Amino acid sequence: MRTFSLLLMLVLMGACSEQTSSTGPSPNPGSDEAVYEWKLITSWPKNLPALGTSPQHFADIVGKMSNGRMQIRVYGANELVGGLEVFDAVSQGVAEIGHTAAYYWQGKIPGAPFFATIPFGLTATEMNAWLAFGGGNELWQETYAPFNLIPVRGGNSGTQMFGWFNKEINSLADLQGLKMRIPGLGGEVFRRAGGTPVTMQASEVFTALQTGALDATEFVSPYNDLAAGYHTVADYYYYPGWHEPGSTLETLFNKSAMESLPADLQEILYAGAEAMNQLLMDELTAKNNEALRVLLEEHGVELRKLPDEVLIELRRISDEVVRELSQVDALTLRIYESYKNFQDGVQNYHRISEEAYIEARNLPYKLPKNLPENPSANPR
């Protein structure tokens, strides 16, 4: 009997040690020592500056805050699933976390683009405010709940560039028939303006431009665009990024997996996502300046502003597209009304604050002749 008990104990211990789960803890569920091993999948190349590297920072900081109890392995686009498969993969539990952008899911959720970016819509600061204090986050949670997902903000690109072109854009006629990688509602606006929008994950864009499968592409801003090497396969760099004035990236959590965690680990994951949200925007803001200088001065990129007549027509079409989208279903209408009401209010204030200050800062003037133009050159 003693021998049988010993053998039974050894068998049970062996079974416990061999049992593994991607969402479950080891070695001691329910204890403070339990370790959870999760997967995080993204829509970006893993080493892409900011977008690709921030998820790893998120994983690292969560590991530290949890004292090693939450271990997250990060996969870039196509390492575990394709970049445009993140939503479904996290929903189904293939991975517990995703880092991506909501406008990719418009085909299944008509109102999804409002949680990423709207042409001529909210800036990065305004998006963060709408989500946190304007009712946006509550609508986002409601929208994704049927898919077993919890979405939270996971970074913002700020106002992007319009993109890279192999021909100059001097009028609306120059957009006709142009094949451009441009996702979301910006793509629909581009189509109605005469272009041909293409939805394509970031890892495929360079080759498509190089081979002529694309005539143009939008991506992010100088820091990411320089790293992607688009300046080697396109001549003209256009601004402003009317199509993505403040693109929120999303961190997706599998709802079932999240709710199975101890409360403190859930809060650590949310806090880590908030840290990533700020870090990513700060990094892009800091790095875009030098990257733009390198593109212009070292690589001879031709920087161009879209003509006003083109921008005015794109804005007219954008208003038309967004209003039509709002009528698709009752939930999308609620999201639209919340977003639009917030934008109307915040624009009213920003005209006399942010916009007025930037206009004042840009007013030309001349320094007195006895002062150097570079303050650091003034010896003490």
Q: What percent of the chain has pLDDT over 70?
A: 89
200 Rama class: left (phi>0) / alpha (psi -120 to 50) / beta: beta
Q: Which fold has domain 163-244+290-340?
A: D-Maltodextrin-Binding Protein; domain 2 (3.40.190)
pLDDT over 80 at 293, yes or no: yes
Between residues 218 and 18, which one has the greater pLDDT?
Answer: 218
Architecture of the domain defined by 34-158+247-285: 3-Layer(aba) Sandwich (3.40)
Quick: pLDDT tens for 157-211.
Answer: 999 999 999 999 999 999 999 999 998 899 999 999 999 999 888 788 999 999 9
Match 């639209």 to its residue by tokens.
336
Q: How confident is the model at residue 9 (pLDDT cuts 50, 70, 90)?
A: very low
- Helix 124-133 with 136-144: angle, nearest 10 deg: 70
Question: What is the pTM assigned to this prediction?
Answer: 0.86
| Contact between 44 and 99 (Cβ < 8 Å) | yes
The pLDDT mean for the chain works out to: 90
Span of 28-42, 221-235, 288-302, 347-361 with lowest mean pLDDT: 28-42
Asked whether 158 and 221 are in contact (CB, 8 A), the reply is: yes
What mean pLDDT is predicted for residues 285-305? 96
Q: Which of 216, 103, 104 is nearest to 161 (CA)?
A: 216
Q: Are 251 and 58 in contact (CB under 8 A)?
A: yes
- Find tokens 């999804």 and name the residue: 112
Amino acid at 369: K
The mean pLDDT of 302-326, rounded to a whole number, is 97
Asked if 87 and 29 count as a contact pair (C-beta separation under 8 A), the reply is: no
pLDDT, position 14 = 42
Confidence of residue 370 (pLDDT cuts 50, 70, 90): confident
Omega prior to 27 cis, within 30 of 0: yes
Return the pLDDT at 365.
85
Instruction: Give the side-chain half-sphere CA count within 13 A for 347.
Output: 10
In 251-278, which positions are buried (b, 16+ CB within 10 angstroms) versus exposed (e)? bbbbbebbebbbeebbebbbebbbbbbe
Neighbours of 22 (CB within 10 A): 14
Residue 210 CB: number of other CB atoms within 10 A? 14
Question: What is the average per-residue pLDDT within 79-106?
Answer: 97
pLDDT bin (cut points 50, 70, 90) of residue 369 is confident
Contact assessment for residue 39 and residue 73, using Cβ atoms and an 8 Å cutoff: yes
pLDDT at 184 (0 to 100): 86
* Digit-coded pLDDT (tens) for 32-74: 679 999 999 999 998 889 999 999 999 999 999 999 999 999 9
Match 């890892």 to its residue by tokens.
203
Write down the domain spans for the chain.
34-158+247-285, 163-244+290-340
Residue 224 φ/ψ, nearest 5 degrees: -75, -40
